[in-house]
Amino acid sequence: MKRLMIEQFWMRLQQENPELCNDLQHDYPSIWFIQQQIDGVLITIETLQRAGIQDAEICTERLNELIEELSPARFLFVKKIFESTLRDDLPAFKETGLLNSVILHIVVACKPVFRHYGFQNQGSDDKNLAYAIGLMVKFFLEDFDKFLKH
């Protein structure tokens, strides 16, 4: 089931944003992170199955939730804010290969923010959403900086 979910995830991502899909497939930290997210979905599915819920729609629904959480639109929205926030240090993130992985972590951390503002696509011009995501990027970077100093 895990292999099937991973294949469905990549196929859907390829359909929605081929460029992002290509970038992520060559980025080991991002692949590992996505697999960890899929493992979390599988744990939920297995728990439901042990409870006697064998509905195939559950797999599809959970996969759709995961894809929504890691959607290209959210990724690109966060990436745009991240890049504008980190103009001077951006080359270091690109050179180390951490850029996509860090952005994926921020996207997941921003799940409640996206839900609160009802984010639908990357064309969103909601200034409050952009400000909230900018704050999340700032908090993430502060924590990241503390982590590097220890």
pLDDT in tens, 9-60: 777 777 766 667 767 766 667 777 778 778 887 887 778 778 877 666 776 7
Phi, psi of 111 (to 5 degrees): -50, -50
Model pLDDT, residue 132: 93
Model pLDDT, residue 105: 85
Residue 4 has pLDDT above 80, yes or no: no
Model pLDDT, residue 28: 67
Q: Give 105 or 135, the one with higher predicted confidence.
A: 135
Model pLDDT, residue 137: 92
54-105: pLDDT as tens digits: 666 776 777 777 777 767 788 888 989 999 988 888 888 888 877 888 888 8
Q: How many CA atoms lie within 13 A of 137 on its CB side?
A: 19
Model pLDDT, residue 125: 73
Q: b/e string for 8-42 if b means 16 or more Cβ within 10 A?
A: bbeebbeeebeebbeebeebebbbebbeebbeebe
Model pLDDT, residue 85: 87
Q: Sign (positive/negative) of CA torsion 111, 109, 71, 121?
A: positive
What value does the CA radius of gyration of the chain take, rounded to a whole number of Å? 16
Residue 123 has pLDDT above 60, yes or no: no
Please compute the mean of the pLDDT values over residues 113-118 and round it to a whole number: 87
